[in-house]
Every structure is written in structure tokens, then in C-alpha cells.
Structure 1
Amino acid sequence: MTRPFKPRQHQMGNMQGETLMGLLVGLTVGLVALAGGSALLANQLRGHRMARQDSQLQHDLRSAVDWMARELNQAHFVANAWQTRSPGECADPFCAGLDDFSIHGSRITFSHDRNHNGTKDNNECLGFRLVKGALQARTACSPEVWTALNDTASLQLTQLEWQLHCTKAQGWLQRRVDLSMTAQWPGDAGRQVQLQRKIHIRNAVPVSRMDLFCP
């Protein structure tokens, strides 16, 4: 004869469920850990974004300085200069006046013979200046035309300085311009980048023009 099944009372008595308090404590600990992890991830993402922005800021500023240096390096260039220039005189239109080289505050202007024809065309008056956070380039002689090179909503320039150094060499005037430029992210003065560059002007002018081009 088969005996009827009876559950073991001692096994049933040993089975216990989790209390409500234990569940709440566990849930609280989990939420705290989740919040901490989320804050850590947010800080990491913010740091990564700021690092990328700073890298982009440095890249943009360096590109601007490189381009400005290349242009300024050619100031006073004219084709066949040996025919128009000597230590005693300068008979070409690229060393005749302030449009050919001058510095005033953040503004520098200069000229050079882009197309090598010996004549100053209207697009051969160049220069740079800082206006309300924007770097502007001069692209025409008369009337003057200035074009912004950066969007101040994403890059703001705060300082542009030029320092001129002049030396005499065998009747010729040799010059060097020290450029200093500072930029920042708009509205964040604590994140600034500054670059400096020494720019040697290749094309000499007669010492007789020193009062005009190196006052």
C-alpha cells in the first residue's frame, strides 16, 4: 500500500522571505551607486568635451598665426626690386606710404606685390586688426575692405599685439615684428590660449625710410 505524501515541516519552517526594510535599504544603496556612477560619467564626458574644445582652440589660433606670419613675412615685396631700390632711394609703390607698412594699436597694415607686376593693385593692401573679439583681414586698398576671419560665437580673440624691432645693415633697414595673440571660449575667461611668434620681414627698405616705417 502506498503511503500518502506529507511535506516535511522542518523544511517549510526554514523558508523565509526578504523584509520590506531590507528591500528599501537595498534599493537605496543601488540608487546611490547609480547616481554616483552617473555623476562620474557626466564629469568624464564634460572633461573630454572641454579637452576637445581646448585642442580645437589651439589649432584654430595656431592656423591663424601661421597664416598671418606668412603674409607679413612678404611685406614690401616687389618684383625686380634691384631695379627700384638702393640704400639711398626706393622708387617703387610698395615703400611709399603708411599703407605699405604701419602699426597702430592692434592694427597692422602692409603691402606686397602679389602678382609680380611691379604695380600696386587694389587687392595688394593687406593687414590685420582686432575688432570686438573678431580677427579681421584687410583685402582692399581703397576703399578699405576688412573681412572677419572667425565666428565670435565659437572663438573670441581678446588680445592682439605687435612689437616692431628695427636694425640698420649697410644702408638697409631690417625689421622684425613680434606677434602676440590671445583667444578664449566665449563667456569663459578662465580658458585662454596665447601664442607668440617672431616674424622677420624679408624685404628690406632703405634706411632713408626709417622715419616712415620704423618711427
Structure 2
Amino acid sequence: MADEHMTGAHERGETLMGLLVGLSVGWVVLAAGSALLSTHLRGHRMALHDSHLHHDLRSAMDWMARELRKAHYSAGAWASRSPAACKDAFCDGPEDFSIKGKQIEFSHDRNHNGEQDKNECMGFRLSGKALQTKRSCSASGDWLAITDNANLQITDLRWQLRCEQRQGWLHRSVEMALTAQWPNDPSRQVSLTHTVHLRNDLPASQQALFCP
């Protein structure tokens, strides 16, 4: 009987040891699985952030391109412009088109009346990591932010003008390049470029003013 009792105690000890080993292995597997899941979720979250960053930057660039294409538009251009001269208010000064560093300015005939009204001067610039748009022809320009630094920070804005004469007319295109980052993670950046072909050609005689 004593031998049987000792054998039973020995068998119970082996079972407890196996249980402890199994629990240890289980905890290791669980920890590894949790770390893997955490890494996967972090990667998914970063990919989602990058997608939102790209979408927001693309939306801003597309809107800027749509407005810039209208530069120099005037409803009466057919009567005021020829290869030799331009006699309307949308091609006679730097407010109608100019590039200075990270800033571009232009004008277009919003209400199609052939006259340059106070709200028909536009532009875009980078100021304090925010994109701003010009809203008037006043000396101050009445600039307004169109991006929010809390959600999107613009770190660079570049303009490259290209000009070409075609049968007495000046055809131009502008390449714009934007770089943005997440506010809390400067390492996450997105850069986009887009070439905008201006729809309204100017007389070649205006090249010195608008294509220096």
C-alpha cells in the first residue's frame, strides 16, 4: 500500500509540472501574439494616416490648380487682345500674374463683366506651415488660411514657370510642388507635384512682364 501511495503522489507531481510548463508556453505565445497584433495595428494606423495626409494634400493641390488655370481670363479678351497688344485689366500688372518665392498671385474675371473688381485677385502662399489664399486686390491681399496646422502642416511650396511662344501668343505652364507632414510626426511626409497649363494665352508682347 505504501508503494502505491508513493506512486500516486509521483504521478500527481508530474501532472502539476506539465501544467506549469504549459501555462508558461501559453503566456509566451500570448505575449508574442499580442506584440504581433500591436505591430500590425500600428502599421495599419500609420498607413491610414498616410492615406489621409495624401488625400488632404491632393484635395488642396487640385483646388489650387483649378483656380490657377483661370489666370488672365477676361470675358472680353476676344476684343481686347491680339498678338501685338493686351488692352484689358487682367494683363497689365503684377497682380495679374507674378511668382515670388513660395507665393503666386494672379487675377481672373469671376463675374464675366470684363472689369477687374476688388475680389478678382487671387493667389496662394505658404505662411507658418499653412496654405493661404489671397481674396482681394487690396494692398494687404486679405490672405486667408485654407489648411489647418492641427491636422496638416505644409512644409514646402514651390512654383516653376515655363513659357513658350506659339504663333504670336505666349503659352505658359506652372509646376507646383507641395510637401506636407503630420503635426505630431515630422517623419511622416508626403510630396506631390502637378503641372498646370494656363488656359488663357497672352500676346507675346507681354512676355517681359509675365515671363521674365
TM-score calculated relative to the size of structure 1: 0.88
Report the equivalent of 2:32. 36
Q: How does 1:1-215 map to 2 (within 5 A)?
A: 14=8, 16-18=11-13, 22-142=18-138, 143-215=140-212
Structure 2 unaligned segments of length 5 or more: list them: none
Give the Cα separation in 1 of the matches to 2:158 and 2:176. Answer: 6
Structure 1 spans left out of the alignment, 5+ residues = 1-8
RMSD: 2.2
Quick one: distance in 2 between partners of 1:187 and 1:46? 15
Rounded Cα–Cα distance in structure 2 between residues aligned with 1:18 and 1:201: 86
Q: Compute the displacement of 1:103 (Å).
A: 0.2
Cα distance change on mapping 1:18 and 1:152 into 2, 3 Å: farther
Q: 25-34 vs 178-187, which deviates more?
A: 25-34
Q: Distance in 1 between matches of 2:13 and 2:193?
A: 69
Residue 41 of structure 1 deviates from its aligned partner by 1.1
Displacement of 1:164 after TM fit? 0.6
- Cα distance per residue 1:128-167 (max 9 Å; x no partner): 1111211111111114111111111221111111111111
In 2: Cα distance, 1:17 partner to 1:198 partner: 79
Indicate the structure (1 or 2) with the bigger Cα radius of gyration: 1
For 1:59 and 1:83, locate their aligned partners in 2 and report how far apart those are by CA, in whole Å. 41
How many aligned positions are there?
208
Which stretch shifts more, 90-99 or 23-32? 23-32
TM-score (normalizing by structure 2): 0.89
